[in-house]
Amino acid sequence: MEKTPSESETITTQVVYPNDTNPMGMLQGGKLVQWMDTASAVCAQIHAEKIAVTVSLNNVTFINPANIGDIVTINAKMTRAFGSSMEVFARAWVQSITSKERNLINEAYFTFVALDESSKPIAVPQIMPVTKEEKWHYRQAAIRRNNKETKTKTQKA
């Protein structure tokens, strides 16, 4: 069975409160990554129709800050499935409550594994990309996976 990325796409919104920030009043990077991980996990679990756990996170890029009172919107979308593992691309945007301007603040790739009731990896539906961007992410996911596997083999040698 195949599913399109839009079938599990997840969009969440958060408000930056003082307890989410550093002493400069800017959103802490770890808090943003936590929000992105949660949105990505929901996306992966909807796709797999199973519990999915985070395996890895790569290519985290902090682009712009978010400040107290800003609205952060996170979009998580499946890029590819490999047996029991899935890659999700998450993007976060910030918008000031007093402005309609929306700026990209972060993007990252998360890898999840779907688990059965015994906490064992279980196969997930494959991805059927539809749009040009989805097809690009689909192809790039295979390259990232191959690079990760090559790096892991080199480190073990």
**Going residue by residue through the chain (157 aa), what tens digit of pLDDT does each one get?**
899 999 999 999 999 999 999 999 999 999 999 999 999 999 999 999 999 999 999 878 889 999 999 999 999 999 999 999 999 999 999 999 888 889 999 999 999 999 999 999 999 999 999 999 999 999 999 998 887 665 555 556 5
CA–CA separation, 7 and 82 (whole Å): 17
Q: Please state the pTM of the whole predicted model.
A: 0.90
Q: Are 27 and 65 in contact (CB under 8 A)?
A: yes
For 2-156, give the CATH class. Answer: alpha beta
CA–CA separation, 5 and 68 (whole Å): 32
What kind and span of H or E run contains 106?
strand 102-115
pLDDT score of 151:
58
CA–CA separation, 121 and 98 (whole Å): 46
The burial of 106, by beta-carbon neighbours within 10 Å (0-12 exposed, 13-18 middle, 19 or more buried), is given as buried
